[in-house]
Structure 1
Amino acid sequence: MLIPRMIEEKMLVLLRQGKISKWFSGIGQEAVSVGVTLTLEADEYILPMHRNLGVFTSRNIPLYRLFSQWQGKAGGFTKGRDRSFHFGTNEFRIVGMISHLGPQMGVADGIALAHRIRKENKVTAVFTGEGGTSEGDFHEAMNVASVWDLPVLFCIENNGYGLSTPTEEQYRCRHLADRGAGYGMEAYRIDGNNILEVYTKVSELAESMRTAPRPVLLEFSTFRMRGHEEASGTKYVPDELMAFWALRDPIENYRNFLLAEEVLSEEKDTRMREQITENIRDNLQTAFDEAPVTFNEEKELFDVYGSFDYKETPPGDTRHSIRFVDAVSRGLGQAMERFDDLVLMGQDIAGYGGVFKITDGFVSRFGKERVRNTPICESAVISAAMGLSVSGMKAVVEMQFADFISSGFNPVVNYLAKVHYRWGQRADVVIRMPCGAGVGAGPFHSQTNEAWFTKTPGLKVVYPAYPYDAKGLLATAIEDPNPVLFFEHKGLYRSVYQEVPEDYYTLPFGKASLLREGTDITIISYGMGVHWALEVLDAGEDISADVIDLRTLQPLDTETIFRSVKNTGKVIILQEDTLFGGIASDISAMIMENCFEYLDAPVQRIGSLETPVPFAKALEDGFLPKERFKSAVHRLLMY
């Protein structure tokens, strides 16, 4: 406990000197961090918050690396890309938080799930504050852990304030531990400033959880003696409350106890402090001597994604005419056979087979451990998929409908997308997205929302139009260690047939398909839009057109696009998504910037009406861009 306390005291000096930019103090809470960490085995994961310095020091992370991290230097854990404790390290089995606190609870669920599937008797500990328990992710993660009997220690540091908001404005139950009963979960209140109580109780629970896996909720009563971060101060805290907790300092009280028990002497205490001071000084100097990071554009862009050495698995000769939905199902099943560490998660995907029956029969083939029904909690499930990836496994999460991804948006765009860039951790997660209108499903089951994700660096976005592509691209998505949003248009599931290879095969990302070749016009689309474009061309019109099926939107095959535009001089981009802010806008801008001198007409963009997706057929037909596309093609040809 003394090591993190003395480091913090030094950091407060450096903060005033401008040598670090920000500090979140855990002074007064060291017994929780240290006590919990020392109860865990070295290979058990712990997911701390930004005031849990004692977790990092108790795992014996070299101090100079922590100091480099806080100074934004390359010797830290994020190459200067993130600050303070926003990092993880598999070497020390630590996964740090992001500022959107909630997802780490679900990540802990995923790590614990990996242990359960592999039949490893391990515990995972995750921290949050009393303020964080108000987030929906907290409740979702608790529920998932309870339903699945996951050995997670949910550690709440109840330190009285969420920034300046006191506990009486955060929750109405008497104690946060009382919430455990609502999840059918054991829960305990512990004096978080008494290291002996923390260590003894958590040791007992951790040992029991290793042999009888289950989640446990722990509420540690403690106090934050400094501001939420140093700039905020503590003026909102009554003086008498500060005085009350000052008498309960975990280090001073334990020191007095050890002196009284004659375990510690004043001489030994002095010697320890001198050694810690010297260690801090030497490691700080190492960090100070390290050169500041320098900007390298190529390296920055390269690290957004984890390396993926795509190896083509060619298709076999045996083929069958199957539907789009069958291609997805068979591709998913063959991936499950190929990767023993692949886990499927989603609502109703087990015995029921999913609402589109893509996983029908999978439980009998692969078992309930790997084909898992989930509660209705998209955020926790996506976070759990991230936890599986931390543990070296793969995950495919099915959104029952692509629209429902909004309930899990945060972990997708803030955790999965950024995690490799931040600290080199792969997010080996595929999220299947049944999407699209034209089936009379109304505003909440019909969106094609790919533009939410093509905007986000770190994500890959796949959107096939044909069964052959769907099967091969899904295989590649699962092989790829980066997060992939895999869009499957519901209107194509049972309406499109194609000869598809029986065996497992892969197709490359970033390679569009040139479906037809012509000289008059370039038509660019993906998903259902490809079929609309071909219907127009097949309606007896004498139009000589290049038809490009993008297949993947991120990465995007700009080479094929530019080559075609230079050949035809006219281009129209068709998307089912509403027009403004869609990917057609970016493709149009790219063409204007790179092919302007080859254009014989302005680039045309066609998308759906700027409204939510309506239910009634006449309204939905008017919303969709198919008819507007027909007239736009003729106008462009006549330009």
Structure 2
Amino acid sequence: MPLKGEKSPYQQQDLEKLNLDRFFRKIVCLSMNFDRKNLDDNTLLKLYKHLLKPRMIEEKMLILLRQGKIGKWFSGIGQEAIAVGTTLAMHPDEYILPMHRNLGVFTSRGIPLSRLMAQWQGKESGFTKGRDRSFHFGTKEFKIVGMISHLGPQLAVADGIALADLLNNRQKATLVFTGEGATSEGDFHEALNVAAVWDLPVIFIIENNGYGLSTPTSEQYRCKQLVDRAIGYGMEGRRIDGNNVLEVYHTIHELAEDIRKNPRPVLIECTTFRMRGHEEASGTKYVPQELFTEWEKKDPLKNYEGFLIKEGILTESVQTDLRAEYKQEIDSEIEKAFAMAEPEADTLLEVADMYQAHDPGEILPIDPTKTTEKRYLDAISDGLRQGMQKFSELVIMGQDITEYGGAFKITQGFVEEFGKGRVRNTPICESAIVGAALGLSINGQKAVMEMQFADFVSCGFNQIINNLAKTHYRWGEKADVVIRMPTGAGSGAGPFHSQSNEAWFTKTPGLKVVYPAFASDAKGLMLAAIEDPNPVMYFEHKYLYRAMSEPVYDDYYTIEIGKARCVQKGEQFSIITYGLGVHWAMDYLNTHPELSADLIDLRSLLPWDQDAVKATVKKTGRVLILHEDTLTGGIGGEISAWIAEHCFEYLDAPVIRCASLDTAIPMNRALEDNFLAKARLDGDIKRLLEY
């Protein structure tokens, strides 16, 4: 980046033409100016060693790829100065969130090559036990959190990690990578906006290497330079030569030192070039050959070698000795990794590792005689408050939840009791806040996020399905996050505020899904969800907020996730349901005293209580599964199939599903009543009993 007052070498007329060839030619024509500033010779040589090692590892990987000994490789050759310079500028106990072309981050953090190779080869001793590829892993030991294939989500995770440091008055910075292509994703905008609004000490690194796979920058964005986007977020932005390891190191070192004391985010655009394909199989035919020729002149390793030789710090003999040492180490470490055991498939272990181990035993109230009549809404609020009181590390986030108290006033008074640090209003950006919740968990916090309406969860779907749900299975890290989901119809709110979308999540291993029907269960399951270190989707029916009340224990208590409740007992048939469906069933049975039915409230949908279901099927032989969700794809289909497979001999009639129409939810009250499963309950029960 030019000094203040100097003319930029990147001529505006070239940028305005958005011509990739001319733009990059302008960059490579610049001479690389190495400014050592106050660095001593040992530090300069250390930087060289850290540049050389990933280059030699990558060269070896390309040989192994041609030999068919590895199956895929994402090369960072030509971009090493960014990974190495940034990593060495950060403190070893500060988190870095790299991408798949940042081998220098991992080697500079001191991870043995044998462990990395075991990961790349899918070995049992790899960081993911063979469950995920290349750099898609994290390690708290080395304070690294890897990416997922969707590229953008790790940016918000960095926000959460930095927020945890901020809340605990730890003077730390967090550094996260993205590519120029991923700056087009909504996750980029959301993460930078949240970091700016909350003054989070995050350094966002854009590696602008010219291409997103084969798509040039001229087809990816229209701003003159990506660093200009910092202006829109009200944050500082710098554009630096990503091939100059000293410029990278000095920039990050100075910024990190400053933002540890004066927390705020910074956006850094590092100009560089990808000297290999997106991955080796994709090739480079789409890149003009002359660009490779000219960018070779800016090779970060060769240029830095030349500088050190000129300074008298590096000699030919030192170079030779270092290369021989690294070659021996690389060959030895790779052979060690090749000799490591392959994973042996163990179904029980695979299933168990989807979740962090947790004792689900119930916590009983200290004094069960002390109860207070509470509405469903108040019970949820009570559970949240007692969770905040017990866990000082718990943070609640959501739109309008502070002074306003949330759309339904569940968090009213919380900010006065717990402060704005732990009760946080968020911008309207569901994806970023889910990601931040995961980052909080990684860095030692607990998080509860409120979706203002369950319908809006679609905006955070990727973070939930691919980040929260899979994190523990992939690299053994918990995702201690509860997502509150105000759900359901009954108030004429129409297609975007009334959906029952629990089935989006009940088929996703790694999540837990609860759905209380009563105030007492609402509190107990809320506290159980907060206690649980796994991600829990907590569905709460909006219609029940003020329509349902009962005595609720005043003390702290939990209800075990995965255990159903028998609401009433009968002999003729069984109704298996949850949420508002429980109250529909109770009302129906109360108006038909001639009927005798088991009424099972599942309470939890993932896991759901198979023992309770089997017991009621065996008892009555006739089953109706009732839910507010649509018929097709609802969890009723799964439970029905399970009964047919495991309880067929006990059935005296087909399992009947009573569900809502396979349409969107209409607003008009008459249309909504016709949509809901309740409209078909009488006919379906008669059909079941007449069989």
The alignment's TM-score, normalised by the length of structure 1, stands at 1.00
2: CA distance between counterparts of 1:565 and 1:184? 61
Cross-structure match for 1:310: 360
Please show how residues 136-151 of structure 1 align to structure 2 within 5 Å: 136-151=186-201
Q: In the alignment, which of 112, 115, 118 is matched to residue 162 of structure 2? A: 112
Q: Which residue of 1 aligns with 2:520?
A: 468
Equivalent positions of 1:16-165 (< 5 A) are: 16-165=66-215
Other-structure match for 2:419: 367
Show the counterpart of 1:229: 279
- 1:418 is paired with a residue whose SS is helix
Would you say the 8 A contact 1:19–1:71 is kept in 2? no
How far does the alpha carbon of each residue in 1:13-37 deviate from its partner, in whole angstroms, 9 at most, with x for none?
1112222221100000000000000
User: Helix, strand or coil: the match of 2:298?
Assistant: coil
2:603 matched to which residue of 1?
551
Match of 1:180 in 2: 230
After superposition, the C-alpha distances for 1:296-333 in whole angstroms (9 at most, x for unaligned) are: 11111110101011342212320011100000001100
Q: 1:254 and 2:284 equivalent? A: no
User: What do the CA deviations read for 1:389-437 (whole angstroms, capped 9, x no partner)?
Assistant: 0001100000000000000000000000000000001000000000000
The CA deviation string for residues 238-286 of structure 1, in whole angstroms up to 9 with x for no partner, is 0111111111000000001111111000000000000000110111111
2:588 maps to a residue whose letter is V
Report the AA paired with residue 504 of structure 2: W
C-alpha displacement of 1:377: 0.1
In structure 2, give the amino acid aligned to 1:5: R
The CA distance in 1 between the partners of 2:618 and 2:68, in whole Å, is 55
Counterpart amino acid of residue 350 in structure 2: E
SS of 2:671 mapped into structure 1: helix
1:404 maps to 456
Which of the numbers 207, 213, 237 marks the counterpart of 2:263? 213
Q: 1:11 aligns with which of 53, 56, 61?
A: 61
Aligned: 1:629 with 2:681: yes
Measure, in 2, the Cα distance between the counterparts of 1:490 and 1:632: 26
The one-character-per-residue Cα deviations of 1:343-379 (angstroms, maximum 9, x if unpaired) are 0000000110001000000001000000000000000
Other-structure match for 2:295? 245
Match for 2:60: what amino acid? K
Q: In the alignment, which residue of structure 2 is the partner of 1:273?
A: 323
Report the Cα distance in structure 1 between the residues aligned to 2:260 and 2:606, rounded to whole angstroms. Answer: 42
Distance 2:601 2:632 in 1: 21
- The equivalent residue for 1:413 is 465
- Asked if 2 retains the 8 angstrom alpha-carbon contact of 1:87 and 1:96, the reply is yes
Q: For structure 1, list consecutive stretches of 5 or more residues without a partner in the other structure.
A: none
Is residue 324 of structure 1 aligned with residue 376 of structure 2? yes
Query: 2:141 aligns to what SS in structure 1?
Result: helix
**1:443 aligned to which of 473, 492, 495:** 495
Q: Deviations over 1:475-519 (max 9, x none)?
A: 000000000000000000000011100111011011100011111
* Paired letter, 1:572: L
Residue-by-residue CA offset, 1:105-159 (whole Å, 9 max, x unaligned): 0000000000000011000000000001000000000000000000000000000
Cα distance in 2 between the residues matched to 1:325 and 1:291: 53
Does the aligned pair in 2 maintain the 1:186–1:216 contact within 8 Å?
Answer: yes
Q: In structure 2, the residue corresponding to 1:247 is in which secondary structure? A: helix
1:617 aligned to which of 648, 669, 675: 669
Q: Could you say which residue in structure 2 is the equivalent of 1:515?
A: 567
In the TM superposition, what are the counterparts of 1:597-612 in structure 2 within 5 Å? 597-612=649-664
Q: Structure 2 counterpart of 1:581, which letter?
A: G
2:401 pairs with one of 349, 357, 365: 349
- For structure 1, which segment, 8-17 or 40-49, has the greater mean C-alpha deviation from structure 2 after superposition? 8-17
Give the equivalent residue in structure 2 for 1:485.
537
Partner of 2:485: 433
State the SS of the aligned residue for 1:412: helix
In the aligned structure 2, how far is the partner of 1:574 from the partner of 1:125? 49
AA in 2 matched with 1:506: T
Q: What 5-or-longer segments of structure 2 have no aligned partner?
A: 1-50
Which digits, 9 at most, give the CA deviation of each residue in 1:533-561, with x for residues without a partner? 11110013411100000000011100010
Determine whether 1:530 maps to 2:582: yes
2:249 aligned partner: 199
The residue that corresponds to 1:638 in the other structure is 690
SS in 2 for 1:188: strand
Deviates more, 1:118-127 or 1:312-321: 312-321
Which stretches of structure 1, 4 residues or longer, exceed 6 Å deviation after superposition?
Answer: none
Give the equivalent residue in structure 1 for 2:43: none
Q: What aligned pairs does 1:382-397 form with structure 2 within 5 A after superposition? A: 382-397=434-449
Letter in 1 for 2:686: H
Partner Cα separation in structure 1 for residue 549 and residue 258 of structure 2: 54
What secondary structure, in the 3-state scheme, does the structure 1 residue paired with 2:286 have? coil
CA distance in 1, matches of 2:389, 2:219: 51
- 1:634 deviation in Å? 1.3
1:574 is paired with a residue of what secondary structure? Answer: strand
Distance 2:292 2:272 in 1: 12
SS of residue paired to 1:417: helix
The one-letter amino acid paired with 1:559 is D
Identical counterparts, % of pairs: 64
Aligned residue for 1:133, secondary structure, equals helix
- Kindly provide the amino acid, as one letter, of the partner of residue 143 in structure 1: N
Task: Give, in whole Å, the separation in 2 of the partners of 1:577 and 1:553.
Answer: 13
Shift of 1:638: 1.5
Q: Give the corresponding residue for 1:578.
A: 630
One-letter amino acid of the counterpart of residue 52, structure 1: N
RMSD in angstroms over aligned alpha carbons?
A: 0.6
Structure 2 CA distance for aligned equivalents of residues 422 and 415 of structure 1: 10
Q: Quick one: distance in 2 between partners of 1:298 and 1:447?
A: 35
